[in-house]
Amino acid sequence: MSNHSHDAQHPLNAIEHAEGNVVLEGIKAIAQGFATVLKHHPREAVTLEYPEVMPELSDRFHGRLSLLSKSDDTDLCIGCQACARVCPCDDLIQIDMHRDDDKKPVVTRFTIDMGRCIFCGNCTEVCPVDCIKMLSDFELADYSREALVLDKKDLTLSGQESDEWRAKRGYTPTVL
Ligand code: SF4
Ligand code: SF4
């Protein structure tokens, strides 16, 4: 057996050989990483530095539910329950209403449990007066389930906010 063959088979030489391979593979991986970074560097970023930079969402975005008002800040909702009936989640929308002396509807309670809402949008499509609508607000996290149950005050937009919502999306104010 030659000396050369004897050296290659020595356990210490085999370890050195293996270490050399690991270092070479490491250098190759780092070079590949840099090549990938350089390749993508000129491209426009597709991510945002949220929350410092907020995304521009579509007007059709399914975010927090809200109740639009009439332009004069009075209630638009007529308490017909159509939204509550079409909602696929049991008792998620709860409404109490009665009629005043002039037979006009008065909604005394309107709650939505946003913690159970699946943002399907069914409720917004059946409303006969275009009252219940979705905002682009998606920051809905809170510290308890109870805090996610929004009441009429939480849900209702002012007349001006409602007019802005309608104008942006081409809705005409509904006068009852
Ligand atoms: S968006 Fe869907 S799940 Fe949410 S309240 Fe409306 S109907 Fe119910
Ligand atoms: S469908 Fe519209 S009008 Fe009827 S209760 Fe719901 S929000 Fe009010």
Per residue in 65-100, pLDDT tens? 999 999 999 999 999 999 999 999 999 999 999 999
Is the distance from the beta carbon of residue 76 to the nearest atom of ligand 2 less than 6 Å? Answer: no
Rounded percentage of the chain residues whose pLDDT exceeds 70? 93
Position 20 scores a pLDDT of: 80
* Residue 49 Cα to ligand 2 middle (Å): 38
Position 19 scores a pLDDT of: 80
What sections of 64-121 are H helices per DSSP? Answer: 82-86
pLDDT at 2 over 70: no
Q: How many Å from the N-terminal Cα to the C-terminal Cα in the chain?
A: 105
* Residue 147 Cα to ligand 2 middle (Å): 22
Is the distance from the beta carbon of residue 92 to the nearest atom of ligand 1 less than 6 Å? Answer: yes
pTM (2 d.p.): 0.78
Position 161 scores a pLDDT of: 96
Q: Mean pLDDT for the chain?
A: 91
Position 1 scores a pLDDT of: 43
**Coarse DSSP helix, strand, coil percentages of the chain, rounded to the nearest 5 percent:** 35, 15, 50
Is the distance from the beta carbon of residue 81 to the nearest atom of ligand 2 less than 6 Å? Answer: yes
Position 171 scores a pLDDT of: 87
Rounded percentage of the chain residues whose pLDDT exceeds 90? 78
Is the distance from the beta carbon of residue 86 to the nearest atom of ligand 2 less than 6 Å? Answer: no
Q: Are 148 and 113 in contact (CB under 8 A)?
A: yes
Is the distance from the beta carbon of residue 129 to the nearest atom of ligand 2 less than 6 Å? Answer: yes
Position 155 scores a pLDDT of: 98
Q: Which ligand number lies closest to the CA of residue 78?
A: 2
pLDDT digits (tens, 9 = 90+) for 21-44: 889 999 999 999 999 999 988 888
Is the distance from the beta carbon of residue 122 to the nearest atom of ligand 1 less than 6 Å? Answer: yes
* Residue 172 Cα to ligand 1 middle (Å): 23
